[in-house]
Structure 1
């Protein structure tokens, strides 16, 4: 029994029991008791962020990397609305999170009071559940929130902390965190139909989505051996990068990102598509699927227009089991000419190499890949550079490259890199940010300085919102509203205590990265790039 402990202490001890190591946020007066409970509880730490949005992005990355719900806090009104951008990221990028906010007591919740809005209504569309903390039910509510966050499509759960209860001492019967429920298995008749469809096909293709990252390592290895044995090409959604190495003979490319039209030359020939762990939030099937039967292997029903496309078999249930049953199929017809597919893949990578002597994003990414160890983590912000990274960046394992693709919010990379380094302090970490996204969360670099985190923040400066500019040009519109500034750089050699190194060419960039990765704290390497390289590589149609 939790005897005579304050509500604040019970909350922090429950979070610690879940395995939570960090709570990210900006404190309020009502949070003081909770913060004190964190201070006196070994093994859990409060990380002060510059903005609540940064706190939520850090919690999202923590949940994604560790499998333990990331935790963030914001105060009434603006604190909660600031959190909401990062909370939405956890919701659509499927990361477990517990969102804590101040909340008015029940008798004042609907009164006209400074900073007071309905937090339950605010978070309802972007969380799996939203609820209130109650005295005497602290463990029950915290453990239930974690259970919901981790079950099925993972995501955030919001808990309002009513003002005035944090200091109350109560007795509460101790309980253990709820065990994760096992997914039910797909039925035998569905499994048989899946196997029969594969056996009939001559040109099957496998599409791996973000939930395929949760496949057990042994099953993943068996799957990769299976596709190699039977000459089955594999395409990925961007957030599934790392499941299959780019050097694997069956690797055929990434959907939606740079030169996706070239990747489409492969998947448009398929006579069967097997989507494993595919979440349509990344890229709707209708935008790339060939006119071929589709097998969906996932924990939830496939979302597709069945009036236009043939959902031949929806295998709903535990993914590991379903994949194992798929791998039992033998004597498959081999229709693919693997030499042609490998040549196409190599041609894609060749097109993604620097095409001239200018200092552009392809050159910068090649140099950065050389300096970041293969076990390192690179986070990327949203922008034209992300489309290059999605196709070009060699990613030898899952979670070595982090992006937001379901939510796709600019400002993600800086706080994400901070969370990655906090959780894996011995792993090299860098972030790649465009100058637009940099301005959105640059304040979080102060956190990296305070925490003495050796993170290399690589800023691609081209003073251009390139993706929007390219879309304007495709419509033959004048370039308007996309210029960050006429010209120039950060304009200083130090930002919040982080050293800034500016590189105007590949030689300077190489030297800057060598210095940055050898530093003790955070370093910003600003690369002054020519953005025109993007124009011929990104925003290509995945199918005719």
Structure 2
């Protein structure tokens, strides 16, 4: 059977389970948009900016584990998409990027809006290609889909010259599963069991590759008496209330929370590439710790620290085999028999530090961000999916929100500003039955807040909380610490509630913590996207840092 290249491509993606295509429409891929719009099982989501489209697709992939599609036109659209593609790459998120390109005869001439797209995206993607023959279009996308979901997942990019999509194409079948999932090797399971059984202070770091493993990971931790850390912005990989949970390896993790990791004799790394933040600028695991790293991508193993054991396997499957291995010690759930693996004091310290009601120094000019998190904890349940932007305000979200269920945190390891709002829209569209909370600073909100219009148009209902302190707090903190002065960090006191309201959102503004609960209750009664703008104290940079204190310190 012969069809068009565009139809064959969309047939393939529909059969593979792709459901949403996020885009800013462009003239170079008209046939792709037309094919998506014509199919009732698919959604074509028109966004306000390509970065929003890319963040939405990335967030859906992060939530579901299945790729969504971001589409854009030529160089101008593709470069706008790049921030979301970079996020998908650093966060190991499956994602497909379909791009329009100049006509085949114009390639290589620097035609209107032309750039070599595979070359441009080469470092940001797991696969990048240009389709030169219409009969191979669907097969090229099948290979891209395979690459996006194989080993370490990531973004795969395919460019279509605009004259290719309407020409005759050939159907292609999805190449899924991409390759057999690596299974736990009996010898490696036995070796890991022996290392953990003989360890005095075993610790685990669980990351993006260990999603959906709560039951398995808790059994493993209890069986071997392992203390568990979550990798950066992967707090939902292990239930935070579990007595073996030790905390989140985030920006500026407090020293007393890190002490168990520094003292660990064996460190089991499950599904984390040990990024810079997780390793606290590559300072942990410390020299002398025996590290076991388990990942589906062999390129990840040993790339950051030397290993006692490197295992190419699906991390949760390996953990399941390890938990039932005959060499595992017989420990009672939550209370290991060996007192050296009693993590109760460390877990208690985590609970104390993550309690927003524990008290703090009063804010003098606006609401203290800790009080915002306390109100959100009172108002929302643990089934809420939380998205967040980059910025100092996010430290309060990471510290005070406790994640008890898998796939409830959608946050950028890449540290991209502008992520929270479009990510929340993508999550709400992909899972309309879920409650979605976005945490944003005014800097990030002013970058992508226009995607509230997208949310309103498609009936998505995220709750967006904006911490408005009128400055780029992270940069102010670094400037104050290193230079003793600030510059270029001011943000105007924009009427963010009015801006959000003009885009179709219900809004409330709060400048006194006593009004937080009422505002949240009122917003809960509204439909569509909802925005709470909180005037927060610009002096309060983190739970432990004030700008005035840094400015008064010697440079």
- Does residue 1:239 correspond to 2:236, yes or no? no
Q: Deviations over 1:237-283 (max 9, x none)?
A: 13321222221111110112454322112222212111111222363
- Tell me which residue corresponds to 1:295: 292
- Superposed displacement of residue 318, structure 1: 2.9
Q: Of 26, 29, 52, which aligns to 2:27? A: 29
Q: Deviations over 1:348-371 (max 9, x none)?
A: 224784414432111101111222
- Tell me which residue corresponds to 1:520: 527
- Tell me which residue corresponds to 1:542: none
User: Which residues in structure 2 correspond to 1:38-77 (within 5 Å)?
Assistant: 38-77=36-75
- Tell me which residue corresponds to 1:272: 266
Once residues 126 and 224 of structure 1 are traced to their aligned partners in structure 2, the CA distance between those partners, rounded to angstroms, is 34
User: Which residues in structure 2 correspond to 1:114-513 (within 5 Å)?
Assistant: 114-133=112-131, 134-170=133-169, 172-173=170-171, 175-185=173-183, 187-215=185-213, 220-257=214-251, 259-281=253-275, 283=277, 285=279, 286-291=282-287, 292-301=289-298, 302=300, 310-327=306-323, 328=325, 329-331=327-329, 333-350=338-355, 353-358=358-363, 359-405=367-413, 407-485=414-492, 487=493, 489-490=495-496, 492=498, 494-513=501-520
Q: Deviations over 1:23-71 (max 9, x none)?
A: 1111112322222222221211211111111111111111222222110
Check whether the contact 1:57–1:416 (CA below 8 A) recurs between aligned residues. Answer: yes
Once residues 310 and 139 of structure 1 are traced to their aligned partners in structure 2, the CA distance between those partners, rounded to angstroms, is 42
Q: Deviations over 1:178-220 (max 9, x none)?
A: 33322334544433332222122111111111111154xxxx4
Relative distance call for 1:488 and 1:63 in structure 2 (3 A) is closer
Check whether the contact 1:262–1:348 (CA below 8 A) recurs between aligned residues. Answer: no
- Superposed displacement of residue 538, structure 1: 6.8
Q: Deviations over 1:459-507 (max 9, x none)?
A: 100012222222222224202222213x464273723222332111123
Report the 3-state secondary structure (helix = DSSP H, G, I; strand = E; otherwise coil) of the residue aligned with 2:219: helix
- Superposed displacement of residue 148, structure 1: 1.0
Relative distance call for 1:400 and 1:223 in structure 2 (3 A) is closer
Unpaired stretches in structure 1, ≥5 consecutive residues: 540-544
Q: Which moved more, 1:438-447 or 1:129-138?
A: 129-138
Relative distance call for 1:392 and 1:238 in structure 2 (3 A) is farther
Check whether the contact 1:354–1:360 (CA below 8 A) recurs between aligned residues. Answer: no
Unpaired stretches in structure 2, ≥5 consecutive residues: 331-337, 547-555
Report the 3-state secondary structure (helix = DSSP H, G, I; strand = E; otherwise coil) of the residue aligned with 1:23: strand
Q: Which moved more, 1:260-269 or 1:172-181?
A: 172-181
Relative distance call for 1:33 and 1:157 in structure 2 (3 A) is same
Once residues 270 and 444 of structure 1 are traced to their aligned partners in structure 2, the CA distance between those partners, rounded to angstroms, is 45
Report the 3-state secondary structure (helix = DSSP H, G, I; strand = E; otherwise coil) of the residue aligned with 2:498: coil
Relative distance call for 1:361 and 1:136 in structure 2 (3 A) is same
Relative distance call for 1:41 and 1:275 in structure 2 (3 A) is same
Once residues 125 and 222 of structure 1 are traced to their aligned partners in structure 2, the CA distance between those partners, rounded to angstroms, is 34
Relative distance call for 1:538 and 1:398 in structure 2 (3 A) is farther
Check whether the contact 2:397–2:439 (CA below 8 A) recurs between aligned residues. Answer: no
Q: How many correspondences in the alignment? A: 528
Once residues 235 and 542 of structure 2 are traced to their aligned partners in structure 1, the CA distance between those partners, rounded to angstroms, is 23
Relative distance call for 1:37 and 1:324 in structure 2 (3 A) is closer
Once residues 334 and 481 of structure 1 are traced to their aligned partners in structure 2, the CA distance between those partners, rounded to angstroms, is 53
Report the 3-state secondary structure (helix = DSSP H, G, I; strand = E; otherwise coil) of the residue aligned with 2:97: strand
